[in-house]
Copies of this chain bind each other. A is one copy, B any other.
Amino acid sequence: MNEFELIARLTRSLPTNRSVVVGPGDDCAVLDVGLPDRLLLFKADALVEGVHYTPAAPPEKIGHKALARCLSDIAAMAGTPTAALVTAALPASFDAAHVEGIYAGMSALARRHEVAIVGGETTTNPQRTLLSVAVLGVVARGKAVLRSGAEVGDALLVTGELGGSLAGKHLEFEPRLAEARWLAQNFHVHAMLDLSDGLAGDLRHLIRASKVGAELLAPSIPISLEARRAAKEQPSSKPALLAALTDGEDFELLLTVAARDAVAVLDGWHKQFPDLRLTCIGKITGTEGITIRDKQGVRPLTANGYVHFSQPE
């Protein structure tokens, strides 16, 4: 049983109540606690030594990543993060300076996005450090963007460049908070998520939630320099396009808008965020599954995203 199969079993019959607008299965839970104009966003995520980072990673970057992953999920709903709690589960032999470095990295990111770190706890995890972060955010009523809103004919857009994140980006990426809010405030974004499992895997999540299909345009997929370089320099590595499709931890936004809005979105974006790419990489279709179009024609995409339980380090 892999991670997704287990989650499907565990989330079949979880308790709910009147406050729940969106429960398990989207980037964040959405809660209505009676704020007149806003809904709450609620998300937790863990970072495990030897699984999500190597012990040699600089502690500031470990802390940055632990919080950035949660903030990226808040971005994926077009929300604004408010406060975070940090649980640090540490080996008994923890190095205080290392732990302080982790907190320094987390704090620097939190300050940039005006997020308060309001507590948490330290506990023991004898063999390895594990950081669990919970984030609370807010989003204007009617502005939360779910995974489930994609419509047949929508244009499929992605920020940034994909693949090769493990070469460094996964420890340094900046969550696309301002970008996501700008998109949701200025356009009708039908569906959005952040890429953590790889484009192929996460697009599958989006089309399943929206009960649609998707067609990718192979030549349009923005491939990172790292993925291109690895493919060129290391003959044993994935072809660059495959890396862009299946490497995890890109933490870019994948979104859909009505086809008639796509040009306006792209034009506006390039003025607003001239240093970050936004690329149309395909469209939403009415046929189940994902296909990919290149000069040889259209084929089903079978490559899957990174599944945590199947490929632990």
Tell me which residues across on chain B come within 8 A of A13, comparing CB atoms. 107
B82 touches A19 (CB 8 A): yes
Point out which of A48, A118, A119, A312 has the most chain B C-beta atoms below 10 A from its C-beta.
A118
A183 at the interface (CB under 8 A from B): no
- Is the Cβ of A6 less than 8 Å from the Cβ of B308? no
Contact B136 A48 (CB under 8 A): no
User: Which of A23-31, A218-226, A283-291 is the contact stretch?
Assistant: A23-31
- Please state if B87 and A45 are interface contacts (CB–CB under 8 Å): yes
CB of A10 within 8 A of chain B? Answer: yes
User: Would you call B107 and A42 a contact (CB within 8 A)?
Assistant: no
Interface residue stretch chosen among A53-61, A108-116, A242-250: A108-116
Cβ contact within 8 Å between A19 and B99: no
Cβ of A276 under 8 Å from chain B: no
- Within 105-142 of A, Cβ neighbours of B (below 8 Å) are at 107, 110-111, 114-128, 130, 132, 134, 136, 138
- Is A303 an interface residue when CB atoms closer than 8 A count as contact? no
Contacts of A32-84 to chain B: CB distance below 8 A: 33-35, 38, 40, 42-46, 48, 50-52, 82-83
Residues in B whose Cβ lies below 8 Å from that of A217: none
Tell me if B136 and A130 are in contact (CB < 8 A). Answer: no
CB of A263 closer than 8 Å to a CB of B: no
A120 to B42, CA, bound (A): 9
In the bound complex, do residue A82 and residue B116 qualify as a contact, i.e. CB atoms below 8 Å apart?
Answer: no
Q: Is the CB of A117 within 8 A of B312?
A: no
With both beta carbons as reference points, the residue of chain B lying nearest to A113 in the complex is identified as B15
CB pair A312–B48 under 8 Å, yes or no, is no
CA distance A72 to B107 in the complex (A): 28
Contact A23 B89 (CB under 8 A): no
**A166 interface residue, CB < 8 Å from B?**
no
With A124-B48, A130-B89 as known contacts, state yes or no: A83 contacts B312, CB within 8 Å: no
**Residues of chain B contacted by A24 (CB below 8 angstroms):** 117-120
Contact of A85 among B1, B44, B130 (CB under 8 A): B44
